[in-house]
Structure formats: C-alpha cells, structure tokens
Amino acid sequence: MKYVDEFRDPEKATVLLAAIGELTQSVVRELRRPLHIMEVCGGHTHTIFRYGIANMLPAEIELVHGPGCPVCVLPMGQVDDCVAIAETPGVIFTTFGDAMRVPGSRKSLLQAKAEGADVRMVYSPLDTLAIARDNPKREVVFFGLGFETTMPSTALTVLQAEAEGIANFSLFCNHITIVPTIKAILDSPDLRIDAFLGPGHVSMVIGTTPYEFIARHYRRPLVVAGFEPLDILHSIWLVLKQMNEGRCEIENQYGRIAPAEGNSAALHAIAQVFELREFFEWRGLGSIDHSGVRMRAPYARYDAERKFALPALHIADPKSCQCGEVLKGVIKPWQCKVFGAACTPETPLGALMVSSEGACAAYYQYGDLEGLRSKRAADAA
C-alpha cells in the first residue's frame, strides 16, 4: 500500500476483523478466559480510540494501555526541577509542547511562563540551538525527554553545539528507554498481559532484536505495529495467529518504516552522547533500573544537571490520581475516581490527561464520557 487512505480501507478492515473473530474464538477456547493485549505506545492508544477499533473487536479481546507515553511517566519532581531552571534569572527554557501543561507539585511550565519565566515551545532541539546562537548572553536549556525515538535528535544537537562551540546551550536530560520498562511490567505481580503490540517509532531506532527476551524468557508474543487502523488490526491478527499456532515470537508488522536492525547512525549518536543511569524514577511506576540515560562526562559542559542547583525531590502523585495503575494496565482510565471530574484537560491532576499520547486524554477526547461515568458508578455500586 502506498497512500494513507489505503491504510483506512473499510473493506480490508472488514476482512481483517472477520479473521480476528475466528482466531479469537480458537485462542479463547484454549485460554478459557478473555485475552489481554497491551499496546505499549500511546500513539497506538489514540489510533484505537480515534477510529473506534476497540468497539470493533470481539468482546473477548481486552486492549490494555501501556506506559509508552514519555510525558505521561514524567514524575512531579522532574517537573519541579524544570520549573526551577526556568525561573532562574537569565535562563530561556525550551520544551516540546506536550510537557508545558504537565502538573508539578506547585505549578506547570505553562503556569511558570504565565508568571514571567521565559519558557518557549520548540519543535526540535535544533530550534533551541538557534535560540542559543541568537541570545549569547543568556543560558538556553532544552528539556530533553522521550524514548529512543527522540534521543538521536537530542544527541545530534549536543554534538552540533560542541562543533560550533556554543557554550550557553545545555540539556536537561530526561530521556528514557523502553525495554527496561516492558521488563518491569512483565515482572509486576499484577501482570495480566498475554501479548504486546510493540512501539513502532522506538523500533525504527532500536530495531526488533532488543525485544527477543520477551518471547524467549517471558513467553509472550510481541508484534511491532504501525499507527494506521489497518496496522493495528493486522498486528492484532498476527498476535492471534501466533497464539493459535502455539508460537511465541517477535514480529515486525511495521517493516516499511522500522527495519529489523534499527538505525545504526541514530544508535551511534545515542551511544556517543548518553549512558545508562543506574535507575530512573517514573510517575506511577516508581524507580526502574537502567530505564533512563544521562550525558557522558565528555559533554558535562552541556549538562543542565551539572550547571544548575536542582531541588531533585521525590514527590508523590495526589492520592486521588491513579496514573500508575493505568500505566501498568491494572485499571482503565475511566475507572480512576477523578477521571472526567476533578481531572480534565483544563484541570489535569495527572500527566495522562494532558499528553497527546496519554490514555486518559484519548478516553476523554474520543470516548462516551457520560457512558463511562455511568459505568464507573455502576461498578462502584
């Protein structure tokens, strides 16, 4: 297929859904219970809800929303550190738009901007480098966040700053890694996942080999999926086909974009600039070993953690917010007590409600809010 509309063809979707229905009955007869498939990436979650895929699937398939939204797993303490840097006199703080409204313990970056901090939204870390060139007397800090998808552009920006000798640029590094995160989910005592739809964008950088342990050690199939409706349906069919045939493998449905071997140039840039942290704190998930990266010593002069005195405090989420349970797939967003009530896009308590890839945002934007509230009330009763 060549064009976007071909990936949204109703006739092809009908054929896939029929095949999914047949395989589901076979798999469920063997399992003797519903089937739980986690889509790791928040981009998949939004496709699923935007196109009503969840409502098209057999009732025996339950899609579970995973932690693959980097903004959603940003802990409050890190947001507070961002605000502290942004409010430092003489600093220009830049970030992707998704992070502007994530709540910290006191305020968000957007609120800090409203109060006078120079916080600017950028579309690329290279935009930050241009701002640093234009403001040589000010410190310009880029908030680096995201999985391996965005790491290469950040690493290449640091290398460009070094090549040009731009000394007033620095990076507040909060990049995270996907594989330890999936492992933490697999090791969770609450685990009830039978298979995974793997993240397409991350996989175009790291390839498929890093996921092999999921099939080998945990006996769960994973299919790297694209982001169009037919991509999702095809990937679910591939998962079911594996389970029906008694196989447990890593497959790549998104091969048109994500090569099995990954992107060697991107991986080289990442390895040159970053190294693994011993551990990293995730909102709702706690500390996960080797799940984040920091800047290597040769690039210390571009490291905002070394340049600025940061609070670096561990701050718990509000007790009413159940982001962690949603991220682990233990509950659905609408089952959270504050979803759609105290927590909305206008007044978010958790990051899942403000990110463009957040599961709560997907339910709020595309779901039947009144129906979900009624269902929650019925369950509570």
User: Which CATH class, in words, describes the domain spanning 1-317?
Assistant: alpha beta
| Cα 217 from Cα 85, distance rounded (Å) | 42
Per-residue pLDDT, averaged over 234-253, amounts to 97
Please tell me the pTM assigned to this model.
Answer: 0.88
**Mind listing the pLDDT tens digit for each residue in 126-168?**
999 999 999 999 999 999 999 999 999 999 999 999 999 999 9
Share of the chain above pLDDT 90, in %: 67
pLDDT surpassing 90 at residue 205:
yes
Ramachandran region of residue 228, left (φ > 0), alpha (ψ -120 to 50) or beta? beta
Q: What is the pLDDT of residue 352?
A: 77
Q: Looking at residue 312, what DSSP letter applies?
A: -
Please report, for the chain, the start and end positions of each structural domain, with discontinuous segments joined by +: 1-317, 323-380
What is the chain's mean pLDDT, rounded? 90
Q: What is the pLDDT of residue 327?
A: 73
More confident residue, 279 or 22: 22
Predicted confidence band of residue 289 (pLDDT cuts 50, 70, 90)? very high
Please give the structure tokens belonging to residue 240: 């079911």
**Mind listing the pLDDT tens digit for each residue in 210-233?**
999 999 999 999 999 999 999 999
Burial call 157-180: b when 16+ CB within 10 Å, e when fewer: bbeebbeeebebbbbbbbbbbbbb
